[in-house]
């Protein structure tokens, strides 16, 4: 057995984590899971409440869940392609708890503002105790779990702070019996403010998942099958490949497949971001989730369930939103030591105020203010919330971002390198000129069509198409062999032939002098030239065929937008220099490298990166995969091959070069929101903790500021949804 085969393939598993409240919780869950045997990497996301775990062996789900539960949190396995959970119940519960907390706290606040409305001490005690130990019980449970695991989190800080304020008030009441000297309103309002912040934060976080929810709703639950001439409605899970599905006007297409009968305009805007419906007919491939706007279609099923494009898009968006951006590492390092440091500062504050002011009540209240304002909620939400919104906005525009690292990396791009055919041009070449050395143009075309009868190359398709138009008889080639970046070799009716670029002619010592002048003129006008030659017994040039391709309508404007954004543009193509220069000149591309092999494209990308440039490579074909992998960020057109899409960090769901500029702009705006969020998260604590320690912030104001910090960070990230 081969040695490589003995190593188990890496596994991944996702867990839904319940009970996390701040960045310290994230750090603790990650540390806990990383200690489980076989775990290689862990990424926990506070905004999505998910843990993505990489393992070297088959996952022991029970061991992972047990580890999380031992740390004081809830965990369940996330099933791929399962419906998203209904979050209306927890939202309703949060709202009820908030309203009750407000109702119980208002009488306490009224007495603080208007002395005549001051409640007797026993009434203040009853109201505050209900808030403290009923509505605030969640903080005790989570805080105790954290303390038991010798860790700290937001809940521990809140539980300690509010308990201190409640305990101080109770002690003063029992000792003095005075109602006006109590601080019950501080503990009650603290919990109310925090519940209010959590409710707003939860609403905002649920909005960030709207992109995935919208995608999940696209797939119909049933399909209408054609069986023995009869239409039968069945559950979507029972449909199989090869089944014929009937889709009526106005219905969503339930499967990926090809149209066998009918014509219609297909609205695929939710999948590709394409604003206008596209005309489709027999032979056209359609995707699940698209809308048939105006015709009756019969579709042969090619992919169902998790194999459909829609399911792949959902998985990609979920993966991107669950991943962790490199910039988050700073917040993680800070949050890992944050709570212990805050507890130390609060203790120092208590001691200093006891010594300086000799006022136990004031000392305790200042320490409470430190505990409360320092809760690191915003620190854990700043990055994942912005990532969720940014990837969701991108998905709605037909831009799929593989992970947070790709999203963050794209903002720093300085050079954008483009493939030509299929990326900047339509990729549908047509034969424009035939030049035969012996003058027999029809014979030259027949040889070329026969030689390329089995080729999948776009130029081969153009040759065969032209031969069909002229009614030529095509004999299949023998000994066919394709040479990447050069052309094809084969035998047609006993004649050894080569058809390809000038590099292929040089490899076989075939002189092209006789047609160099015509070839140069065609290339200068933007045509691609392929040469036909006999390789044996005597190498001889037979002629050339010129192809024309149409530049995509949005290509010129897309290049202009990139230049306006301060980016350099480069074209990397295996086409002839003349054809490449003509296209580059038309589009305004600054530099080109032509007549290069796929491996040379990767080397060219590596060379561009040597001077410290951040390079994005845009391509669509299988020959672009090495260059996409070599670039800092690969951008693949989904209209190309699956290999290109699997290699790229960003996939464009429609072949529009304008989406390249869109992807970079979304990355820049998302990164800006991340930095703004982290800045404000740090700023709240850097400014708030000293003010609280010096006695300038009451616990109530500290609680309001802490809640505001989380809400403002999430709300700022949600502004990304307005991007157009």
Asked if residues 219 and 255 have their Cβ atoms less than 8 Å apart, the reply is no
Phi, psi of 447 (to 5 degrees): -65, -45
Which segments of 482-612 does DSSP mark as H helices, in order? 502-507, 516-524, 555-564, 577-587, 598-609
State the first-to-last Cα distance of the chain, in angstroms, to the nearest integer: 55
Count CA atoms closer than 13 A to 400's CA, side-chain side: 29
**Partners of residue 12 on adjacent β-strands:** 54
Task: Pick the catalytic residue from 14, 256, 403, 419.
Answer: 419
The 3-state secondary structure of 675-713 reads HHHHHHHHHHHHHHHHHHHCCCCCHHHHHHHHHHHHHHH
Asked if residues 200 and 186 have their Cβ atoms less than 8 Å apart, the reply is no
Cis peptide bond upstream of 159, omega within 30: no
Nearest to 195 by CA among 286, 270, 129, 98: 98
Crossing angle of helices 377-396/309-322, nearest 10°? 160
d(CA 612, CA 160): 50
Extract the tokens encoding 142.
Answer: 């989570």
Helix or strand (DSSP H, E) at 651? strand 650-652
User: CB atoms < 10 A from the CB of 405, how many?
Assistant: 17
Instruction: Give residues with Cβ within 8 angstroms of 171, minimum separation 6.
Output: none
Extract the tokens encoding 476.
Answer: 């299949």
**175-185: buried (b, 16+ CB within 10 Å) or exposed (e) per residue?**
eeeebeebbbb
- What long-range pairs does 359-365 form, CB within 8 A, spacing at least 24? 360/168, 361/168, 361/172, 361/183, 362/695, 364/164, 364/165, 364/168, 365/165, 365/168, 365/183, 365/186, 365/698, 365/699
591-593 sheet: strands from edge to edge: 399-401, 650-652, 633-637, 615-619, 415-418, 568-572, 591-593
Extract the tokens encoding 228.
Answer: 């023995």
Q: Could you confirm whether 419 is annotated as catalytic?
A: yes
User: CB atoms < 10 A from the CB of 52, how many?
Assistant: 21
Asked if residues 266 and 297 have their Cβ atoms less than 8 Å apart, the reply is no
Asked if residues 634 and 647 have their Cβ atoms less than 8 Å apart, the reply is yes
Count CA atoms closer than 13 A to 143's CA, side-chain side: 18
Phi, psi of 434 (to 5 degrees): -125, 120
Extract the tokens encoding 9.
Answer: 């393939």
By the 10 Å C-beta count (0-12 exposed, 13-18 middle, 19+ buried), 646 is classed as middle
Helix or strand (DSSP H, E) at 460? helix 458-469
**702-722: buried (b, 16+ CB within 10 Å) or exposed (e) per residue?**
bbbbbbbbbbbbbebbbebee
Dihedral angle sign, alpha carbons of residues 46, 52, 54, 55: positive
Give the 3-state secondary structure of residue 396: helix
Residues recognised as catalytic: 419
């Amino acid at each position: 057995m081969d040695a490589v085969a003995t190593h188990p393939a890496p596994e991944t598993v996702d867990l839904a984590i319940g009970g996390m409240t701040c960045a310290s919780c994230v750090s603790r869950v990650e540390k806990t899971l990383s200690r489980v045997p076989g775990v290689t990497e862990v990424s926990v996301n506070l905004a999505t409440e998910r843990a993505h775990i990489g393992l070297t062996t088959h996952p022991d789900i029970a061991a992972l869940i047990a580890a999380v539960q031992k740390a004081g949190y809830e965990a369940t396995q996330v099933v791929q392609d399962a419906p998203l959970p209904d979050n209306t119940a927890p939202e309703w519960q949060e709202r009820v708890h908030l309203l009750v907390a407000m109702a119980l706290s208002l009488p306490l606040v009224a007495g603080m503002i208007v002395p005549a409305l001051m409640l007797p001490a026993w009434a203040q005690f009853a109201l505050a105790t209900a808030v403290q130990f009923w509505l605030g019980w969640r903080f005790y449970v989570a805080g105790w779990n954290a303390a038991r695991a010798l860790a700290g989190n937001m809940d521990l800080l809140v539980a300690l702070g509010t308990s201190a304020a409640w305990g101080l008030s109770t002690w003063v009441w029992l000792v003095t019996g005075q109602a006006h000297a109590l601080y019950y309103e501080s503990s009650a309002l603290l919990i109310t403010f925090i519940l209010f912040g959590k409710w707003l934060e939860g609403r905002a976080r649920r909005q960030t998942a709207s992109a995935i929810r919208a995608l999940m709703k696209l797939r119909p639950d049933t399909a209408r099958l054609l069986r023995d001439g009869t239409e039968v409605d069945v559950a979507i899970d029972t449909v199989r490949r090869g089944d014929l599905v009937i889709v009526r006007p106005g219905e969503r297409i339930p499967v990926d497949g090809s149209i066998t009968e009918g014509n219609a305009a297909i609205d695929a805007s939710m999948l590709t971001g394409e604003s206008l419906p596209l005309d489709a007919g027999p032979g056209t491939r359609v995707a699940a989730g698209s809308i048939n706007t105006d015709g009756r279609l019969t579709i042969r099923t090619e992919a169902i369930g998790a194999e459909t494009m829609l399911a792949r898009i959902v998985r990609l968006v979920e993966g991107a939103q669950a991943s962790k951006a490199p910039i988050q590492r700073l917040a993680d390092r800070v949050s890992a030591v944050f709570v212990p440091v805050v507890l130390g500062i609060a203790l120092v504050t208590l001691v200093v105020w006891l010594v300086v002011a000799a006022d136990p009540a004031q000392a305790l209240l200042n320490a409470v203010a430190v505990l409360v304002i320092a809760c690191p909620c915003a620190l854990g939400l700043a990055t994942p919330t912005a990532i969720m919104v940014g990837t969701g906005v991108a998905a709605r525009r037909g831009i799929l971002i593989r992970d947070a690292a790709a999203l963050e990396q794209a903002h720093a791009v300085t050079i954008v390198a483009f493939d030509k055919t299929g990326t900047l041009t339509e990729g549908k070449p047509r034969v424009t000129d035939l030049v035969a050395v012996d003058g027999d143009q029809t014979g030259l075309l027949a040889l070329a069509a026969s030689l390329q009868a089995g080729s999948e190359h776009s130029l081969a398709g153009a040759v065969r198409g032209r031969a069909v138009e002229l009614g030529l008889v095509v004999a299949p080639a023998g000994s066919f062999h394709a040479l990447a970046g050069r052309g094809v070799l084969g035998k047609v009716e006993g004649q050894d032939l080569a058809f390809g670029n000038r590099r292929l002619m040089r490899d076989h010592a075939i002189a092209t002098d006789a047609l160099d002048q015509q070839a140069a003129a065609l290339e200068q006008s933007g045509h691609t030239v392929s040469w036909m030659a006999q390789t044996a017994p005597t190498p001889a040039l037979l002629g050339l065929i010129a192809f024309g391709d149409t530049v995509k309508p949005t290509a010129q404007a897309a290049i202009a937008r990139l230049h306006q954004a301060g980016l350099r543009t480069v074209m990397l193509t295996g086409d002839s220099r003349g054809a490449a220069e003509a296209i580059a000149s038309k589009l305004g591309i600054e530099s080109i490298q032509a007549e290069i092999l796929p491996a040379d494209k990767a080397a060219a990308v590596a060379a561009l990166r040597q001077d410290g440039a951040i390079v994005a490579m845009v391509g669509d074909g299988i020959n672009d995969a090495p260059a996409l992998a070599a670039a800092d960020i690969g951008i693949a057109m989904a209209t190309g091959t699956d290999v290109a899409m699997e290699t790229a960090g960003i996939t464009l769901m429609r072949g529009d070069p304008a989406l390249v500029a869109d992807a970079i702009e979304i990355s820049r705006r998302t990164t800006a929101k991340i930095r703004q969020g982290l800045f404000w998260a740090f700023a709240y604590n850097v400014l708030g903790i000293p003010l609280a320690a010096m006695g300038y912030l009451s616990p109530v104001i500290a609680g309001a500021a802490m809640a505001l910090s989380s809400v403002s960070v999430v709300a700022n990230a949600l502004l990304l949804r307005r991007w157009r």
